[in-house]
Amino acid sequence: MLPKTISKFNVTARASIGMLAKHSTHHLTRLLSGLHAPYRRVPVFHCPLVLLRCSSTSSAVSTQLAYRGVPFASLSPSRRGFMFGEIAQQYHVEYRGHSVRSPETTLTTSDRRRAKHCETCDWVCCDEHGSRRVKAKHAQITWDRSNNQWCLRFRHVKLDQIDELVLIVYAPWGLELWSYCLEQQVGLHTCGLHTQVIGHGISFLGSRKDTRELSRDSFLKSNVCSGLQRPAEHIVTLTWDHGLIGHQVAKSAEVVSIYTGVLLESMSRSLRGRSMERIAMSYDSCDLSYTVQLPSGGNTSRGQKRGSNQQTYDWVRFVGKSLVRVEAKSASFVWDESRERWTLSFYCIKRELFDCLLLVLYSPWGVDIWEYNLELALGWTTTGKLTNLTGCKIVFVGPVKEKDGYKAWTSKLRPRLEAAASHAVTLPWSHPIVAKCLNEELCRTGC
């Protein structure tokens, strides 16, 4: 485990809504700098932690606010889904009297044995009617900022591989288990070119501008719930004090993490990645004095105009009379429980669409920016069938059985990153660029 933050260094800046509304970015930067200044010699994993709250957000509603302090909120969606699947299976065995067994091991398209978490179904239910392949899919009730509505989206549903589908709604008050009718296919939709590889999606959308606080009563009265009731039958509501959940909550507390109390910890990966991208671009234009410009125009494979978040690269860097297309990819420290090691993974990299690749590391001590050597291509790996659709990934792994994140970083992860990329800069949380960009992002999202 990582060393715990020494209490005298655990500095937390909390301000009321009125005070933060009066603070400019300059004042926030001075606040951050003042907190960090006395402890600059402290090791990076013991750095002071600064948490900011902002009231000048465009909306008081956000997913992060609704799930703040809720069990499992700090876990990754994949890890959370694995635990929820175990809960659903145990409920069917203990409370519905089902006889279940593990699915038979199958082979991938590469003739490799599938891992347990990669099987086509989660369990096989056996009764007098025969055997049924059951898959459990979970989704979080999220706030769609672009459309101002609550929504529920289940992903990667492969109908041809299952006989029964259990939908698990991850809500602030507990878990809602539903049995989805595969024949009706209400809410089912394709995912473009990805459908053949990752499967379909199932979505239920709420009313526009329904900004009511997310609670079970408001959920039952919402269009999300009414849409879910059409193709699915409600099984049970498991509150957080239910016996089946207690064991998984204890297991979630054992998950190794180095980001407890770190800024942006509760932010979703997509929003955090956008924040890291904004910081990298600001560093490009401010500290490196490049003239930068956001891309615009272009059409998708469907012939639709690309949005700002759908461009093939992140920004253009003007170097003399030439243009350099820059792509920024971010990653965080993730503990691989099966292999017992720390990993850094940068996803969705399409080499032919940019000229310069920046790797942005979200770390407890700040933001690390590296310029990747595209010619060496160290750590570069394919992603199977998804390679042609989503691109490749870059992966760096730490030493096995080393749970101390700082030791894993200094002994193996950083040397491997240095061999593949050149270090541009480390921006601590007190840096003016970081403070400015994060303050804008926090105020915009309400995280």
Q: For residue range 328-364, what is the model confidence (pLDDT) as tens digits?
A: 999 999 988 888 899 999 999 999 999 999 999 999 9
Lowest mean pLDDT among 17-31, 77-91, 147-161, 431-445: 17-31
Judge contact between 71 and 245, C-beta under 8 A: yes
Q: Is the dihedral of CA 118, 225, 144, 241 positive or negative?
A: negative
**Mean pLDDT of the region 231-241:** 95
Kindly state the average pLDDT of the residues 68-72: 89
Structure tokens at 248: 């998984």
Q: Which of 436, 79, 159 is nearest to 286 (CA)?
A: 436
- Tell me the pLDDT band of 196, cut-offs 50, 70 and 90: confident
pLDDT for 399 equals 95
pLDDT at 19 over 80: no
In whole angstroms, what is the distance from residue 184 CA to residue 198 CA?
21
Lowest mean per-residue pLDDT among 56-60, 98-102, 105-109, 431-435: 56-60
pLDDT for res 56? 36
pLDDT classification of 445: cutoffs 50, 70, 90 = low
Q: Where are the beta strands (DSSP E) in 130-231?
A: 130-144, 149-157, 164-171, 174-180, 188-189, 200-205
Residue scoring higher pLDDT (247 or 297): 247
Percentage of the chain exceeding pLDDT 90 = 50
Which residue do the tokens 């942006």 mark?
264
* Adjacent-strand bridge partners of 177: 168, 236
Tokens 């991938």, residue located: 108
Lowest mean pLDDT among 198-207, 370-379, 384-393: 384-393
Is residue 311's pLDDT more than 60?
A: yes
23-60: buried (b, 16+ CB within 10 Å) or exposed (e) per residue? beeeebbebbeebbeeeeeeeebbbbbbbbbbeebeee
Could you tell me the CA-to-CA distances from 105 to 100, 115, 117, 134, 356 in Å, in that order? 15, 8, 11, 15, 42
pLDDT of residue 14: 32
